[in-house]
């Protein structure tokens, strides 16, 4: 399901302009929304989900404008949303919690609801933990419960806000794989400040910076922003002062620095292959503040 965002601006009470004339098209499939804390990601997602009204602009999702009275319910029927902080009832079991949310979402048929909850527990690999209380769940398990509740109405659009924050490496990988699997013929919009999450799951993405679109396109195109701008320098002396040091690794011959810089940071610097993180940093270096 395609999303067209046009001229979207959100100014909060108090004057913070969280989104500034944002225009963006999001195609079907897995899509990354990358940006530092405060870039405006949550604001955008809440507007897409119809939970927040923009100051200006339009958002058309699958042909319906979510910023209008008529369009909003039509979009919300097709949408699943996992907020950055999903509140759960710690004393409920996973099954009881999902059953409760399903009821709130209007799945009134009891046996149909039970079947759907059982099915979703299976999808997110929580069948074995289904009858345990949520208060004993790990961060990764809770995130999977969150995905299950977002999937209840089998949405064509799934929006997930910073779902991997605080997960350990195994849980992160597992969660990312789950999202990719869910993408298929639906749109999964993954918001994150972690470059690696996008690198491992998305082929296309947008980068937000200060409420504005800094980039939209393929992962390969973002990587190539850093072409000719990544260097390694091995030295016993002080770290390079030119450009941005992205890593420092001790080696026998001294410290090996990886630097993103327009100019060679040192006479002994060797050019290196850029990664997505390098592309993102090179992009940030050219974004006006
Ligand atoms: N309810 C609010 N009232 C005022 N300012 C807000 C509110 N929510 C977010 N902001 C501000 O808007 C900007 C964007 O925030 P947010 O959309 O949460 O970014 P992100 O999700 O990328 O971290 C930040 O400067 C933030 O402090
Ligand atoms: Mg956020």
DSSP string, 29-72: EEEEEE--TTSSHHHHHHHHTTSS--SEEEEEETTEETTSTTHH
186 and 79 within one domain: yes
Strand duo 212-218 + 3-11: pairing: unpaired
Count Cβ atoms within 10 A of the Cβ of residue 84 and give its class: 0-12 exposed, 13-18 middle, 19 or more buried. Answer: middle
| Per-residue model confidence as pLDDT tens for the chain (289 residues) | 899 999 999 999 999 999 999 999 999 999 999 999 999 999 999 999 999 999 999 999 999 999 999 999 999 999 999 998 888 899 999 999 999 999 998 899 999 999 999 999 999 999 999 999 999 999 999 999 999 999 998 999 999 999 998 888 998 998 999 999 999 879 999 999 999 999 999 999 999 999 999 999 999 999 999 999 999 999 999 999 989 999 999 999 899 999 999 999 988 999 999 999 999 999 999 887 6
Which atom number of ligand 1 is nearest to the Cα of residue 211? 14
233 and 210 within one domain: no
* Cα 232 to middle of ligand 1, angstroms: 36
- Which residue has the CA at smallest separation from atom 6 of ligand 1? 12
242 and 168 within one domain: no
236 and 200 within one domain: no
* Cα 194 to middle of ligand 2, angstroms: 12
Q: The whole model's pTM is what?
A: 0.93
253 and 165 within one domain: no
Strand partners, 251: 254
- Which residue has the CA at smallest separation from atom 11 of ligand 1? 18
Residues with CB under 6 A from ligand 1: 12, 14, 16, 18, 35, 37-43
CA dihedral 245, 208, 185, 276 (to 10 degrees): -10
Domain that holds residue 209: 3-218
Which atom number of ligand 1 is nearest to the Cα of residue 193? 22
* Cα 216 to middle of ligand 1, angstroms: 21
Ligand nearest to the CA of 13: 1
**278 inside domain:** no
């Amino acid at each position: 399901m395609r999303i067209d965002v046009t001229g979207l601006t959100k100014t909060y009470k108090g004057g913070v302009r969280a989104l500034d004339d944002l225009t963006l098209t999001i195609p079907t499939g897995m899509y990354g929304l990358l940006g530092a804390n405060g870039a405006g990601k949550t604001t955008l997602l809440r507007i897409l989900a119809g939970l927040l009204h923009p100051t200006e602009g339009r958002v058309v999702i699958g042909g319906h404008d979510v910023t209008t009275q008529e369009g909003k319910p039509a979009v919300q029927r097709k949408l699943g949303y996992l907020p950055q902080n999903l509140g759960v009832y710690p004393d409920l079991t996973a099954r009881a919690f999902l059953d409760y949310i399903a009821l709130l979402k209007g799945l009134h048929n009891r046996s149909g609801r039970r079947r759907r909850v059982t099915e979703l527990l299976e999808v997110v690999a929580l069948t074995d933990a289904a009858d345990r209380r949520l208060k004993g769940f790990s961060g990764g398990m809770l995130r999977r419960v969150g995905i299950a509740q977002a999937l209840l109405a089998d949405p064509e659009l799934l929006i997930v806000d910073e779902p991997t924050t605080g997960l350990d490496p195994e849980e992160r990988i597992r969660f990312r794989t789950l999202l990719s699997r869910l993408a298929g013929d639906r749109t999964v919009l993954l918001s994150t400040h972690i470059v690696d999450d996008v690198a491992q799951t998305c082929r296309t993405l947008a980068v937000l910076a200060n409420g504005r679109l800094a980039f939209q396109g393929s992962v390969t195109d973002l990587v190539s922003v850093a072409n000719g701008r990544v260097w390694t320098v091995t030295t016993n002396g002080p770290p390079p002062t030119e450009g941005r040091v992205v890593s420092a690794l001790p080696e026998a011959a001294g410290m090996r620095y990886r630097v993103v810089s327009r100019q060679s940071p040192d006479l002994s610097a060797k050019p290196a292959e850029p990664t997505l993180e390098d592309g993102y940093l090179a992009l940030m270096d050219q974004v006006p503040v």
